[in-house]
Amino acid sequence: MPLKTGKAYIESLKSLNLKTNIMGEQKDRLTGNSLISPSQKAVAFTFDAACSPDTQELFCAESSLFNDVVNRFSHLHLSTEDLINKVKMQRYCGVKTACCFQRCVGLDAANAIFSTTFECDKKHGTQYHERFKDYWKWIQKEDMVVDGAMTDPKGDRGKRPTDQVDPDLYLRIKERKPGGIVISGAKIHQTGMLNSHEILVMPTITMRKGEEAWAVCCAVPTDAKGIKYIYGRQASDTRKLEENAMDIGNPTFGGQEVMTIFDDVFVPSERIFMDGEIDFSGILVERFASYHRQSYGGCKAGVGDALIGATALIAKMNGVENASHIKDKIVEMIHLNETIYACGIACSATGEKTLSGNYLVNLLLANVCKLNVTRFPYELARLATDIAGGLLGTMPFAVDLEDPVTGPYIKKYLAANPDYNTVDRMKVFRLIENLVAGSGAVGYLIESMHGAGPPAAQRIMIGRQALLEDKIDQIKLLLDIQ
């Protein structure tokens, strides 16, 4: 059984010898870095869950590429049940880690590339699908983490790739060499990049005639020559460097965002899965986006569970859990969160088999799911802030608890419900703060808005998929309008 434990996964990262620029310095030894370790632990959780008897059934699946069990985070969906289990798994990870666990993008990229390459080969006589199957079989057998790299910097948003002042503002094929290509550009908002073994590069938009150089999909090792990393800043991130962990909010887990530079990176032919086929670039983007919008029905609902739990607990600690308006607000939080989850399940249950054999989500419902996610987590955060109270923004430093002068005052004056310890109450405040305003808000709020595309992208897809003319025709038929 090719399954790593969380510990084995962390050890596998050490062998990559990855380096990144962070806080003005280049760092290596990333597995011991206090800023990065929480995000690595979040990924490690997904490995341990696959090895645990309690969760193994949800986190594992039979591979379609060879006869063995694989981690579901590298599985090619073979049924609507697989799609549903993916969302259930993501919700479980979300509530257990209360953060982004960073493996969804690679999973969604793989499933989109699998079906797109099959159809591209059928039309153009290319050999991409078999290449990708061989590659992904290796990923599954080695139980690797893969980053899906789609988002380009884009430069001037009013201009196409060919019209940019700098052609590298969309990642492109810069040069051809015997046995492969050289790519140049960057990918931004790369969730969990430095916690990954491999990168799946994809185009970020539908390419047009004359933009063949930008219609590229390929696989690159994270330690490939020419790749450079710049670590992303998050709110309150340097709290992770402090000795007292309470002010972090989430003392164990965290997320990670990285700017990734591809400075003339060579890609061998066997790792190329699209090379100028502009007619399939948009199909790949659409399928990846839809899988990823489905993912948010699981992961954001899971983190929402954590926020709801923390909010209900702080209400008890504040002594207001029986107030009718508090109860009503918590019910509203639950309603919004379950609506997110319901859409994730719905687009999975109504998914369909592709020509390649794997399953694709219902595109319309996946986009409805993500459009809800651009709103509902913000309302959950507002309600949590309302219920928790102003201490979310004014609470003293955790280190002041240890001071013989200030500590007793803090414990005396921040006491509330006598059934709960003051320090425990402060811990819950910090977790809520982390999710609504701290580093956790990157994965829960900003990612909810812009991850897998901003609201306008979902509205465009909903307009395309809603079959509006069919609805009009049904009314004409009902009313006998010619």
Domain boundaries, the chain: 282-473
Q: Which of 60, 100, 217, 347 is catalytic?
A: 100
Smallest CA-to-CA distance from 111 within 57, 168, 64, 52 is with: 64
Q: Which of 170, 296, 341, 359 is catalytic?
A: 296
For the chain, residues with pLDDT lower than 50 are none
Whether the full predicted model's pTM is greater than 0.95, yes or no, is yes
Q: Which of 104, 218, 347, 369 is catalytic?
A: 104
| pLDDT tens string 251-265 | 999 999 999 999 999
Amino acid 1: pLDDT: 55
Task: Please state, in angstroms and rounded to a whole number, the distance separating the CA atoms of residues 383 and 329.
Answer: 7
CA trace torsion 442, 36, 101, 135 (10° rounding): 120
Q: Which residues pair with 148 in a beta bridge?
A: 200
100 given a catalytic annotation: yes
Q: Which of 60, 120, 299, 347 is catalytic?
A: 299
204 given a catalytic annotation: no
Q: Which of 119, 198, 257, 433 is catalytic?
A: 257
Task: Please state, in angstroms and rounded to a whole number, the distance separating the CA atoms of residues 71 and 1.
Answer: 10
DSSP 467: -
447 given a catalytic annotation: yes
Amino acid 52: pLDDT: 97
Q: Which of 292, 343, 347, 369 is catalytic?
A: 292
Residues in the chain: 482
Task: Please state, in angstroms and rounded to a whole number, the distance separating the CA atoms of residues 99 and 250.
Answer: 8
Assigned CATH class of 282-473? mainly alpha
Strands of the sheet containing 146-149, edge to edge, are 146-149, 198-201, 216-221, 272-275
3-state secondary structure of 153: coil
Q: What is the token pair recorded at 36?
A: 């990065």
292 given a catalytic annotation: yes
